[in-house]
Chain A
């Protein structure tokens, strides 16, 4: 850096005796700061970037006003940006899902490309619409069926699943909804307290579970045949046509302990699920059908 040796001003300045270089005049405990001048273009660029930044005030939303903010001449907003992106996504999906609207769930399942799209779309739609009750991944909870297992109240075929998604369960005013009404045997006064206890014990006997020592299993068997077998069958294996669960398998929705069984027989359960037919488009319902069917229990 020899250029400032020619600068007449340098002669007026502090000069470091060791390096012969001018200092800034700053001194800390005898230590001086050498002045190595930055090139002027650097300063120019620094000012230019400051001036450039004013441009943002003009073209982008910048200044808060009392109730609003300046809009900027580009009219940019993150919200409109997301609308554009969502529309692009929809357009992209439209081409991908074009095949899906026409294909049956069986055809989707057989076509690897459509199947992949359906699984992705179904997973997303499931998270948005179904996971609140059925849990992420369809794990279920007490009263909300696990969709991964092979036990179905209303059938686990593609068609049956689609029917359930479209029309829901016990949806008032929907003619095609899944409908069954188990009576509230206790609340209605059909069965007395000790009779309910007998039926509950018999149900546990059917499922291969232990019964209470003082249980009246003979009465239980008779009452079950009279009141329950019409739907659940004499052997308690249920009936999917009527949404009557199989009481003998390893899977239970409301619990097979005495307290839960007593509660079920006394007050009945009759869970509900909304009909999604009007809310979700055809392709989404198909994707959901394929996704749920593929969770592991599809039949």
Chain B
């Protein structure tokens, strides 16, 4: 069982958390003009890399707060934890963020709150 560092409550067992999947998926507003296919990328496509992954987690059985995690899916090393609305600062996290195909997706461009 992983041990995840809640930014508020400190290290707790994985059992107390729920994983919210891939982080940094900007939501295009409803009145966007992007195609169904581009919108489908926002809605359905999720990465599942072998290696560094940016994820959202929630301390479900604790303080109920969401936060971002940079996790290596192979080693399970937790490389960084950072607040919602922020971007990763570790080099591994930055690379994963900058190299994601989402940065150039139409859905992200149509999201005003990125």
Do A and B associate with each other? no
